[in-house]
Amino acid sequence: MASRYWMVSLPVQGSASSLWNRLQEQISKHSFDTPLYRFNIPNLRVGTLDSLLSLSDDLLKSNTFVEGVSQKIRRQIEELEKVSGVESNVLTVDGVPVDSYLTRFVWDEAKYPTMSPLRDIVDSIHSQVAKIEDDLKIRVAEYNNVRSQLNAINRKQSGSLAVRDISNLVKPDDIITSEHLATLLVIVPKYSQKEWLSSYETLTSYVVPRSSKKLYEDNEYALYTVTLFNRVADNFKTSAREKGFQIREFEYSPEAQESRKQELEKLVQDQESFRSSLLQWSYASYAEVFISWMHFCAVRVFAESILRYGLPPSFLAFVLAPSVKSEKKVRSILEGLCDSANSTYWKTEDEVGGGMAGLGGDSDAHPYVSFTINLA
């Protein structure tokens, strides 16, 4: 599949089929590696020249917007597939790969009646895509909110002992609580453990001898218990801090621990649910935006062709995908198939003049209508 196509229209002097045959012949003869397809545009409603000129000012801006939303959803799909470990699917539109939809484009009369003014069709496409973009923002925000909550919990679980949640490291029999006795949890720097073991009994009076037990150790710290009389707890905390030992306030609660576990499980389920839902929505919405974009491109080719070649509408529209090394040759073929007078007039951007400046894009640089469609 090519990821970059040119959408082009050439002015028709005789018959469209004759011009198409000449184009096919020239491409196969001089640039045989360039896929070429007719792009069928129905007879749309022209309206007035003023309305076309006014519309042309907005076409480039609207195209940038619609294309941008399409790429944004595509990137979201790639990210979700990667995170989910899902094998990347070939994106489809109406049941066919996106490039096939483009190269076999058929106008959807039911969705975009050809008798509607061009401005109405463009506005309808723009508002529909804007609504999808708004939905995307809301859905991504919901998904990211759950992800950030999970990440915060995981950071607490995976951080150093100084900051992480230690509830899952402490068992009920590690803690003694009675009317007179209390067990404190102390974070000891890894390389100060000898000092801790030799000094904790003397940091204050009424510390239970040999009561300190190591529960856990990471790269930086070790987690110890110490049991002492309630009434000296504050003195002990002060002396311990002065020695560089950190007291972790902790109250053992099976209910709180169970609640945290359930919260984590729910967040994991929510994340999976949001991710799966967002991915399915993104597949469907990408297809919807792509369909809108291709109809928009049809309107753009139609409007720009009339502004460039005049009335009545008489042009041949097609898409082609030249390789980078063939681009120059293909441009030369297209230019050669343009009417010589038209070609001379449109030769340089300077001669384009104010009336056509609104068309924008790469169309002004050529004597025919041409713009690029990037699928990836």
How many Å is the Cα radius of gyration of the chain?
35
Q: Give dist(CA 172, CA 197) in Å, integer.
A: 23
- pLDDT cut 70: percent of the chain above it: 91
Q: Are 207 and 236 in contact (CB under 8 A)?
A: yes
Residue 104 makes CB contacts below 8 A (sequence gap 6+) with: 37, 96
Q: Give dist(CA 286, CA 73) in Å, integer.
A: 6
User: Each residue of 348-373: pLDDT tens digit?
Assistant: 444 333 333 334 445 457 899 999 99
Residue 344 pLDDT more than 50?
no
Domain coordinates of the chain in residue numbers?
1-43+313-354+372-376, 46-161+256-311, 171-251
Q: Which carries the bigger pLDDT value, residue 40 or residue 256?
A: 40
User: Each residue of 248-271: pLDDT tens digit?
Assistant: 987 766 676 677 788 888 988 999
* β-bridge mates for residue 274, sequence order: none
User: Each residue of 145-188: pLDDT tens digit?
Assistant: 999 988 887 777 777 787 787 877 888 888 888 889 999 999 99
Q: CATH for 1-43+313-354+372-376?
A: 3.30.70.2750
Q: Give dist(CA 160, CA 263) in Å, integer.
A: 22
DSSP assigned state of 311: S
Task: Select from 224, 187, 190 the least CA-distant residue to 207.
Answer: 224
The pLDDT, as a whole number, for residue 356 is 39
Chain-centroid distance of CA 97 in Å reads 20
Residue 273 pLDDT more than 80?
yes
Task: Select from 328, 305, 308, 307 the least CA-distant residue to 318.
Answer: 305
Residue 118 makes CB contacts below 8 A (sequence gap 6+) with: 44, 45, 46, 47, 51, 52, 55, 299, 302, 303
Length of the chain: 376
The pLDDT, as a whole number, for residue 364 is 54
- Token pair, residue 59, equals 């076409």
The pLDDT, as a whole number, for residue 359 is 44
- Domain 1-43+313-354+372-376 and domain 46-161+256-311, same fold? Reply is no
β pairing state of 181-189 and 36-38 = unpaired
Strand order from edge to edge, sheet including 246-248: 213-217, 221-229, 181-189, 246-248
The domain made up of 171-251 has a fold known as: Alpha-Beta Plaits (3.30.70)
Burial bucket for residue 67 (CB in 10 Å: 0-12, 13-18, 19+): buried
Q: Give dist(CA 119, CA 133) in Å, integer.
A: 21
The domain made up of 46-161+256-311 has a fold known as: subunit c (vma5p) of the yeast v-atpase, domain 2 (1.20.1460)
Angle made by CA atoms 229, 230, 234, in degrees to the nearest 5:
110
DSSP assigned state of 210: T
